[in-house]
Amino acid sequence: MLGAIEAGGTKFVCAVSENGRDIKERVSIPTTTPAETMQQVYDFFRSFSIEAVGIGSFGPIDINTKNDTYGYITTTPKTAWQNFNILGDVQKHLGVPAGFTTDVNAAALGEWKHGAGAGKTSCLYMTVGTGIGVGAVINNHILEGLNHPEAGHIIVRRHPEDDFKGTCPYHSDCLEGLASGPAVEKRWGEKGSELTARPEVWELESYYLAQAMMNYILILTPERIIIGGGVSKQPSLLAKVHEKTQQLLQGYVQDSMITQHIDQYITTPGLYDDAGITGGFVLAARTLEDTPN
Amino acid sequence: MLGAIEAGGTKFVCAVSENGRDIKERVSIPTTTPAETMQQVYDFFRSFSIEAVGIGSFGPIDINTKNDTYGYITTTPKTAWQNFNILGDVQKHLGVPAGFTTDVNAAALGEWKHGAGAGKTSCLYMTVGTGIGVGAVINNHILEGLNHPEAGHIIVRRHPEDDFKGTCPYHSDCLEGLASGPAVEKRWGEKGSELTARPEVWELESYYLAQAMMNYILILTPERIIIGGGVSKQPSLLAKVHEKTQQLLQGYVQDSMITQHIDQYITTPGLYDDAGITGGFVLAARTLEDTPN
């Protein structure tokens, strides 16, 4: 049996699977302090005989195995979790091989294996919600290098009529600062879910998201792009993103997936809210394979 | 013995190597028409008994093996070369396994294996010259997906005092349209090589290149970034790019390679003008390994 932990800033979801895909049992635990939350995580897994676990964690996290702080949650604004060695803690308490990556990389892995990216060699997963997170699978592997992607913080060109200063504490008006859920709420005075009937909101939102699509396509050239998260549930948004991405690219990338089938190319999740936990199982299975007997 | 072809828009460089690294013999052939140029390519290789060849080609090219036009140079402005099946032609005339990628991906592969990216699992190679080209190695493999990277054409934020309209025929003021060699020349009225003494030129150039660095780091998270090409030879440019990239990132990516050693992280080529041809040998060796007996 395989275990998965989706370590989120609001809640931890833990689950087990017999076949590495279907969820046999799951639990949701509030994210309070490491001591309190992790105890409940371990209590859940105690009922099962798991062989490995895959962790997709909120960040920033250190995924560089060469660093002393590998496996840590690092500079999060959640002070109780700063510099918490989540990977080490899980390994110690569960005593099984553990894979470790970001929440969005886990979601990308889940969508790539069993969701909207199935059958592709690469896919990019973007979530637009409280923040803007991006994970990716390239050549069938999670994209990690110097660090994990932080592609929610890229520079985009401001709309000439948008004078909102942005919400990102680091970069003010990076993509996340201009287009995340809190940015939408602060700019328009209401939550995105209350703004469905105002087309100007989604015109502007798609203006920024389409720039992200263009840059992701030109830099990473993924075979599929999946957009999830709360903001992405706006009914008119995705079609506007499709249209504006094509306009920006100006036919430069001549692949029919972009010129003709962009509605299939940039798409919604196949696994919805289960992308991360499913990716956790995939990661657990890979970690088990890579562990010497 | 291995062969390499660096197929450029101005010249083709062909070379052979005994050990897959050192150049035993090389020739440079003007890029005229496929019939004329390729004949000289085959004449060169006829003197050697090569087992495989790696091709790094100017583009756009089709690198998707599922497409009917795999191995073709596609929509180049060089009309004689439009829709020329360069890979098929080489395979037919040389009768050996042939690897095929972009010129900049070949350079990335060469730098990653034997140059400034040696020992890393990933590196990004950017050339700033007639155009802006980007290639990358991720998890020890050339980055290809839907297509090859075209990261010279990303959107950057305009400098508020820059009203130059840009030179890109597709996007006008994308990165390449604002920061390539021809853009510098058209904006300032002289070639970059004549503008060394004018700091404002390189302030503005680094303003754009640093944005590219930021987006490449946040999206692709490479372990090393290498900048080559004519424009990159400006003595004051790289230090300005370092400084501005750090300013843009605002400490968000907390890796000492960025916060302390950015001069090592974003660097000049180790192989200089031999990056592409060396990458061709690496590609040839890999193609040979992957070929069933």
> How far apart are the C-alpha atoms of B270 and B65, rounded to whole Å?
31
CB of A251 within 8 Å of any CB in chain B? yes
Please answer whether residues B78 and B161 qualify as being in contact, where contact means their C-beta atoms are separated by less than 8 angstroms.
no
Could you say which of B122, B138, B219 has the minimum Cβ distance to residue A215?
Answer: B219
Closest residue in B to A125 (Cα) is B219
Closest residue in B to A126 (Cα) is B219
> How far apart are the C-alpha atoms of B176 and B130, rounded to whole Å?
9
**Residues A154, B215: C-beta atoms closer than 8 Å:** yes
Q: What pLDDT was estimated at residue B80?
A: 95
In A, which residues are within 8 Å of B147 by CB distance? 221, 253, 255
Please answer whether residues B157 and B186 qualify as being in contact, where contact means their C-beta atoms are separated by less than 8 angstroms.
no
Q: What pLDDT was estimated at residue B231?
A: 87
Beta-carbon contacts of A135 under 8 Å, excluding residues fewer than 6 positions away, are A101, A102, A103, A104, A105, A106, A107, A108, A109, A124, A125, A142, A143, A148, A149
Closest residue in A to B144 (Cα) is A221
CB of A221 within 8 Å of any CB in chain B? yes
How big is the A-B interface in CB pairs under 8 Å?
A: 138
Q: What are phi and psi of A100, to 5 degrees?
A: -140, 125
Q: How confident is the model at residue A258 (pLDDT cuts 50, 70, 90)?
A: very high
Q: How confident is the model at residue B77 (pLDDT cuts 50, 70, 90)?
A: confident
**Residues A122, B134: C-beta atoms closer than 8 Å:** no
Q: How confident is the model at residue A93 (pLDDT cuts 50, 70, 90)?
A: very high
Domain B116-267, classified CATH 3.30.930.10, yes or no = no
Burial of B169 by CB count in 10 Å (0-12 exposed, 13-18 middle, 19+ buried)? exposed
In B, which residues are within 8 Å of A170 by CB distance? 250-252
User: What average pLDDT does the segment A225-237 reach?
Assistant: 93
> How far apart are the C-alpha atoms of B86 and B92, rounded to whole Å?
10
In A, which residues are within 8 Å of B74 by CB distance? 254
Is a pLDDT exceeding 80 seen at residue B293? no
Q: Which of A221, A246, A250 to mutate to test the interface with B (most CBs of B within 10 A)?
A: A221
In A, which residues are within 8 Å of B133 by CB distance? none
In B, which residues are within 8 Å of A248 by CB distance? 155, 171
DSSP class per residue in A114-166: HSTTTT-S-EEEEEESSSEEEEEEETTEE--SSS---GGG---PPPTT-----
| Distance to chain B for A174, nearest Cα, Å | 10
Q: What pLDDT was estimated at residue A231?
A: 87
Q: Which of B153, B216, B219 to mutate to test the interface with A (most CBs of A within 10 A)?
A: B219
Please answer whether residues B251 and A170 qualify as being in contact, where contact means their C-beta atoms are separated by less than 8 angstroms.
yes
Is a pLDDT exceeding 90 seen at residue A135? yes
CB proximity under 8 Å: B 139-178 to A: 139, 141, 143-158, 170-171
In A, which residues are within 8 Å of B132 by CB distance? none
Closest residue in A to B148 (Cα) is A221
Q: What pLDDT was estimated at residue B292?
A: 86
Could you say which of B138, B155, B253 has the minimum Cβ distance to residue A138?
Answer: B138
Topology match between the domains A2-102 and A116-267:
yes
> ipTM of this complex > 0.90?
yes
Q: Which residues are paired to B137 by β-bridges?
A: B123, B142
pTM for this prediction? 0.96
Closest residue in A to B250 (Cα) is A170
Please name the amino acid found at residue A264: Q
**Residues B255, A220: C-beta atoms closer than 8 Å:** no
Model pLDDT for residues B159-207, shown as the tens digit of each residue: 999 999 999 999 999 999 999 999 999 999 999 999 999 999 999 999 9
Q: What are phi and psi of B115, to 5 degrees?
A: -120, -135
Mean of pLDDT over chain A: 96
User: What average pLDDT does the segment B129-154 reach?
Assistant: 95
Closest residue in B to A67 (Cα) is B255
In A, which residues are within 8 Å of B252 by CB distance? 150, 153, 170-171
- Percent of chain A with pLDDT strictly greater than 90: 91
| Distance to chain B for A51, nearest Cα, Å | 27
Model pLDDT for residues A4-56, shown as the tens digit of each residue: 999 999 999 999 999 999 999 999 999 999 999 999 999 999 999 999 999 99
Q: What pLDDT was estimated at residue B145?
A: 92
Q: How confident is the model at residue A292 (pLDDT cuts 50, 70, 90)?
A: confident
Q: SS3 sequence, chain B?
A: CEEEEEECCCEEEEEEECCCCCCCEEEEEECCCHHHHHHHHHHHHHCCCCCEEEEEECCCECCCCCCCCCCCECCCCCHHHCCECHHHHHHHHHCCCEEEEEHHHHHHHHHHHHCCCCCCCCEEEEEECCCEEEEEEECCEECCCCCCCCHHHCCCCCCCCCCCCCCECCCECCHHHHHCHHHHHHHHCCCHHHCCCCHHHHHHHHHHHHHHHHHHHHHHCCCCEEEECCHHHCCCHHHHHHHHHHHHHCCCCCCHHHHCCHHHHEECCCCHHHHHHHHHHHHHHHHHHHCCC
Q: What pLDDT was estimated at residue B85?
A: 98
Mean of pLDDT over chain B: 96
Q: What pLDDT was estimated at residue A214?
A: 98
For the segment(s) A2-102, the CATH number from 3.30.470.20, 3.10.20.440, 3.40.50.2300, 3.30.420.40 is 3.30.420.40
Model pLDDT for residues B25-43, shown as the tens digit of each residue: 999 999 999 999 999 999 9
Give me the residue spans of the domains in chain B. 2-102, 116-267
Please answer whether residues B134 and B151 qualify as being in contact, where contact means their C-beta atoms are separated by less than 8 angstroms.
yes
Model pLDDT for residues A152-185, shown as the tens digit of each residue: 999 999 999 999 999 999 999 999 999 999 999 9
Could you say which of A75, A147, A155 has the minimum Cβ distance to residue B221?
Answer: A147
Model pLDDT for residues B230-283, shown as the tens digit of each residue: 888 898 999 999 999 999 999 888 889 999 999 999 999 999 999 999 999 999
Please answer whether residues B263 and B242 qualify as being in contact, where contact means their C-beta atoms are separated by less than 8 angstroms.
yes
Q: What pLDDT was estimated at residue B59?
A: 86
> How far apart are the C-alpha atoms of B96 and B108, rounded to whole Å?
23
